[in-house]
Amino acid sequence: MKSSQASAGFTLQEMLVVMAIMGIVAAMAVPSFRDFAIQRSIAAQITDLTSALRLARSEALKRGREVSLCPTDNPSVANGRPKCTNSRDWKKGYLVFIGSIYANDQYIRVQQPYSNGGSILADDVGGIRFRPNGVLKVGGARTFTFKPPLATSDRSYKTLEKKVCVSSTGVLAPC
């Protein structure tokens, strides 16, 4: 006997088809979302470092003194002052201060380490020093490479890598 009322709800086959379609869409969306999250993370790191570089340059011009920016292994030393390191790795944090590199005269900004994966590598070790006229003191132009997590083991991540160049005149630009 058939009921005069139409059956309400979904059949098992309809539910399986919907779940399969949702699984396919999710499988396609997850890698894109992961790349988007990595791009946003790298963009935030680029913004932080370029703003610190601009700050250092503008402070050198404003104060008429040398202002330095350098990487550090431990920006939050409890029983002392953070120190510059002679490293290419800027992901552990960096310092902006008035004075010469390794003297750590007066801090302007202390950047804490980034918790996400990836790296920020300079093309040379040590820090950057801006003269009172805003140009770099030593070494000429510098390049910073922002690498996503797994950049060394996953070739597809190479496309997410970004670079920022600092010219010898102190001008910043993507490169």
pLDDT (0 to 100) of residue 103: 56
Closest to 135 (Cα-Cα) out of 96, 170, 98: 170
pLDDT (0 to 100) of residue 37: 82
Domain-by-domain residue ranges, the chain? 12-174
pLDDT band of 78, cuts 50, 70, 90? low
d(CA 21, CA 23): 5
- In the CATH hierarchy, which fold is given to the domain comprising 12-174? minor pseudopilin epsh fold (3.55.40)
Tell me: the pLDDT tens digits for 107-154? Answer: 888 888 888 777 888 888 888 999 999 998 876 788 999 988 765 555
d(CA 57, CA 168): 12
Q: Is 157 helix (H, G, I), strand (E, B) or coil?
A: helix
Percent of the chain at pLDDT > 70 equals 86
Beta bridge partner(s), residue 68: 97, 129
* pLDDT reading at 48 higher than 70: yes
